[in-house]
């Protein structure tokens, strides 16, 4: 459900009264009755005011087709409109002016208060859950007579899956033995069905480290066979119906996120980390426990985008790459082979982007990342 939101406000000469109404409009593609929360966050470090602290938010709904403006409203704990006269002071952005980071979400969920005023939203990024829609507009100047457009309210989930490959046989070289993988897990995005806390202004997410099981399917023998660009045969994959839905966010340590935001003061940033893949690999009588970071090179997982992490097993090394399938503005999620013109922003799919190469060291199955050029097959 794509939507465009317009912000306009009247300002008297001199000072601005706190009751001056803020008015919004939304295009006719919105469904009647849909509720929204529009939140404004600090965009200043002056006088001790740190960026990304919540300033104020208001709740509105689209009353009926043909309406030119959203109507201020009350919402319940699920972010849906409820009957009753709204409070124009606590349930609107009346009187707000100046530069702020603006975010619009739907349903209009209440903020999850976390004590430092960078209040997030609790959402459940699973297949069965209702999509949580977000439009992150970045820094915008509010006030005056101008009209400000907020657009691209999208499903704020990413999808994740895995593909395992075996290094192809090479003449006059030892062949890589066949293997099986068990207990494949995604770590860092929360448990299946877990309500995580999303902070859309900074694109961080807070989730437990509870592993989430990944269903893997043995790759069938086909003609031509399923291989990667180097001709390595595929052994296992996550079928499309088993892809994991996770919150779209920056999965990286706090300082990495801070740097991506222009080294903003970190008072309103959360402790965070990379996504990891864990599994057990059985090969030639060896049982090898694997735990590898997945987002150490590309940590910003975007909405309506599918990420496959490709794991290639060599003789003494494991190499990981990432494949990206961009979403569609017309039909939501895409699969390989969909029409190119349906891709968001015209971005092409990206295949097999290097993430890293690891070698097991020691007797405790500890994996150490090595320079790709050092890998000896």
How far apart are alpha carbons 266 and 286 in whole angstroms? 45
Task: List C-alpha distances in Å: 365 to 15, 185, 238, 274, 315.
Answer: 66, 17, 25, 20, 15
Q: How far apart are CA 360 and CA 369, in angstroms?
A: 9
Q: How far is CA 308 from CA 163, 182, 194, 239, 353, in A?
A: 7, 18, 22, 11, 10
Name the CA dihedral angle for 108, 110, 116, 118, rounded to a multiple of 10 degrees: -10
Among all chains, which residue has been given the structure tokens 């595929």? 234
Could you tell me which of 34, 41, 78 has the C-alpha nearest to residue 60?
Answer: 34
Q: Where are the domains of the chain?
A: 5-155, 157-374
Q: Is the peptide bond prior to 94 cis by the omega test (within 30 degrees of 0)? A: no
Q: What three-state secondary structure class fits 373?
A: helix
Q: Is 344 exposed, middle or buried (0-12, 13-18, 19+ CB in 10 A)?
A: middle
84 — alpha (psi -120 to 50), left (phi > 0) or beta? left
pLDDT at position 367 is 53
Whether omega for the bond prior to residue 69 falls within 30 degrees of 0, making it cis, is no
Q: Please check whether residue 100 is in contact with residue 140, taking contact to mean a CB–CB distance below 8 angstroms.
A: yes
Residue 22: what are its φ and ψ, rounded to 5°? -100, 130
Residues 5-155, CATH architecture: Sandwich (2.60)
In whole angstroms, what is the distance from residue 148 CA to residue 107 CA? 21
Give me the DSSP letters along 37-96.
Answer: EEEEEE---GGGPPTT-EEEEEEEE--STT-SS-EE-EE-TTS-EESS---TTTSS-TT-
| Beta bridge partner(s), residue 40 | 56, 102
Tens digits of pLDDT across the chain (377 residues): 434 333 333 333 333 444 556 767 665 467 888 999 989 888 876 656 678 888 889 898 888 877 777 888 999 999 999 988 888 778 888 788 888 888 989 999 998 766 556 688 999 998 888 889 998 877 877 765 555 666 778 899 999 999 999 999 888 777 888 999 999 999 999 999 999 999 998 999 999 999 999 999 999 988 889 999 999 999 999 999 999 999 999 999 999 999 998 888 878 889 999 999 999 988 878 888 888 899 998 999 999 899 999 999 987 788 899 988 876 555 567 665 544 434 444 455 788 888 888 876 545 545 555 443 333 33
Contacts by residues 217-226 (CB-CB < 8 Å, ≥ 24 positions apart) = 217/242
CA 197 to chain centre: 12
Give the model's pLDDT for residue 92.
83
Give the pLDDT of residue 174. 75
* Coil, helix or strand at residue 268: helix
Classify the phi-psi angles of 130: left when phi > 0, otherwise alpha if psi is within -120 to 50, otherwise beta: beta
DSSP state for residue 243 in the 8-state scheme = P
pLDDT of 249 reads 96
Dist. CA 57–CA 257, nearest whole Å: 24
């Amino acid at each position: 459900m794509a939507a465009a939101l317009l912000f306009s406000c009247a300002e008297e000469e001199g000072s601005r009264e706190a009751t001056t109404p803020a008015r919004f409009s939304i295009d006719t593609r919105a469904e009647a009755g849909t509720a929204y929360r529009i939140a404004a966050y600090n965009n200043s470090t002056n006088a001790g005011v740190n960026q990304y602290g919540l300033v104020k938010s208001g709740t509105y709904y689209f009353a009926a087709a043909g309406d030119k403006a959203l109507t201020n409203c009350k919402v319940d704990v699920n972010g849906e409109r409820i009957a009753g006269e709204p409070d124009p002071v606590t349930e609107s952005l009346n009187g707000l002016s100046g530069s702020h980071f603006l975010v619009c979400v739907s349903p209009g969920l209440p903020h999850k208060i976390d004590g430092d005023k960078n209040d997030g939203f609790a959402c459940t990024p699973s297949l069965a859950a209702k999509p949580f829609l977000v439009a992150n507009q970045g820094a915008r100047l509010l006030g005056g007579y101008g009209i400000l457009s907020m657009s691209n309210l999208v499903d704020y989930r990413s999808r994740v899956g895995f593909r395992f490959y075996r290094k192809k046989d090479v003449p006059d070289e030892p062949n890589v033995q066949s293997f099986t993988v068990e207990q494949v897990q995604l770590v860092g995005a929360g448990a299946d069905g877990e309500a995580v806390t999303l902070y859309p202004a900074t694109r961080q997410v807070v989730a437990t480290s509870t592993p989430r099981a990944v269903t893997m399917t043995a790759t069938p023998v086909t003609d031509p066979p399923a291989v990667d660009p180097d001709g390595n045969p595929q052994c296992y994959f996550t079928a499309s119906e088993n892809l994991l839905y996770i919150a779209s966010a920056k999965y990286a340590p706090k300082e990495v996120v801070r740097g991506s935001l222009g080294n903003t003061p970190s008072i309103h940033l959360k402790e965070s980390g990379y996504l990891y893949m864990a599994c057990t690999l059985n090969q030639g009588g060896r049982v090898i426990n694997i735990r590898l970071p997945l987002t150490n090179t590309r940590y910003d997982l975007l909405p309506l985008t599918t990420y496959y992490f490709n794991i290639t097993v060599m003789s003494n090394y494991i190499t990981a790459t990432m494949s990206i399938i961009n979403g569609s503005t017309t039909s939501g999620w895409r699969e390989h082979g969909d029409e190119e013109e349906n891709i968001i922003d015209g971005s092409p799919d990206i295949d097999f982007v290097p993430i890293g190469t690891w070698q097991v060291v020691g007797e405790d199955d500890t994996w150490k990342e090595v320079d790709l050029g050092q890998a000896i097959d």
